[in-house]
Structure 1
Amino acid sequence: METSQLIIVPQISSVPGHQALAGRMQRWLAQRGVVEALPSTCGVRGNRMANAIAPSARQVVEHPDRLPFGQPVNGLEVVDKRCIYTPTRNFLKEAGCPECRREVGEPLFESLEDWWPGITDNFSCPECGHEDDINGFLFLQPCGFSNLGFIFNGWGETAFTQAFLDAFGERLGFKVRQVRTDG
């Protein structure tokens, strides 16, 4: 069963202490009433355990009427290993260098063979030599590359408010990007 997802991804490949940080963020979201504190079978991965949507989720999204209240899949799942987060349909694989502004999508996405196993966090622009964490490059469509991701299952029909994303990033200690997948 595919479901739409709204994913929050830190804009850093290797988040230090990512597993402990994931637990702190889950507790923070539960304390704010965005998700339930105790997991239930409302996820999609593995044993399907996730933190179900809670009433205050309405306060952190652009379109609260589109949230999956009452749906069997509606929970937060945390990924604590390296993962690539992109739109699932019609992803264009286009990226640009923040330094020279040239298109570097093809070589950047080819470099993921070294990024995925953790050989490197960085990518070097083949045009000008600028090197940065892969998340520092410019992407036409929102995507993220990190060892930490927060997947809100069934939430893909809405978007987080900028105020919530700012608060989430501040609490996390890193800038974040939201990525939406289609169901």
Structure 2
Amino acid sequence: MSHSQAIIVPRISTFPAHEARARVILRWLAERRIVEALPTTCGRGAGGMAYAIAPGARNVVLRPELLPFGEPINGLEVVTRRCIYTPTGDFLEEAGCPRCRQEVGVPLFESLEEWWPGETDNFTCPECGFEDDINGFLFLQPCGFSNLGFIFNGWAEAGLLPSFVEQFGERLGFAVRLVQ
């Protein structure tokens, strides 16, 4: 059984009307038969509830034979609380400023103590003073910080198609990041 996750995260800390937008995305995915319309116990998170994989999932991945059909954990979990999404193995916590290009990983990740409870969405570069939403900084490995996230349990090995990730972002109305 695969414990991998492919996570799509909007590149904005506080997504406006995030719960309503999550419902719109779920309807779109269910209409395309990528996931089932009603949640079941096929998730890994709190309560184990998720939207089970559906036959249309084969159309949005590079290697459909690696999708978790028949596995007990195979569904899409929607997270509607502030969360940090990083790779689970060997995450380097390296980040750079998009303006001055200096390494700012240590202070950026230390600033998550203020970001997590929602005291701020922004980070200020200690080198040049540039300030932006934390998602606007450069990361060596894909990661995301948002009050909205879509976790596809067991789908990482199958590889979400770049065109699907792009369409997902268009539906959300924000740029997204794929975290695995």
Matched pairs, number:
180
Q: Which runs of 4+ in 1 moved over 3 A?
A: none
Q: 2:14, 2:146 within 8 Å by CA — same for their partners in 1?
A: yes
Cα offset, 1:2, TM superposition: 8.1
> Structure 2: how far apart are the matches of 1:134 and 1:63?
33
Aligned counterpart, 1:36: 36
Please give the alpha-carbon distance, in whole angstroms, between the structure 2 residues aligned to 1:104 and 1:98.
Answer: 10
Q: CA deviation at 1:130?
A: 0.7
Q: Distance in 1 between matches of 2:71 and 2:172?
A: 28
1:156 aligns with 2:156: yes
1:42-57 matches, within 5 Å, as 42-57=42-57
Residue 171 of structure 1 aligns with which residue?
A: 171
Is the counterpart of residue 10 in structure 1 residue 10 in structure 2? yes
Cα root mean square deviation, aligned: 1.2
Identify unmatched segments of 5+ residues in structure 1: none
Q: Give 3-state SS (helix, strand or coil) of 1:44's partner.
A: coil
Residue 90 (str. 1) matches residue 90 (str. 2):
yes
Q: Could you tell me the percent identity over the aligned residues?
A: 69
TM-score (normalised: structure 2):
0.97
**Comparing both structures, which one devotes a greater share of its residues to helix?**
2
Give the letter for the 2:22 counterpart. Answer: A
Separation in structure 2 between the aligned mates of residue 158 and residue 177 of structure 1, nearest angstrom = 17
Q: Which runs of 5+ in 2 are unaligned?
A: none
Q: TM-score, normalised by structure 1?
A: 0.96
- Give the whole-Å Cα distance in 1 for the aligned partners of 2:66 and 2:9: 21
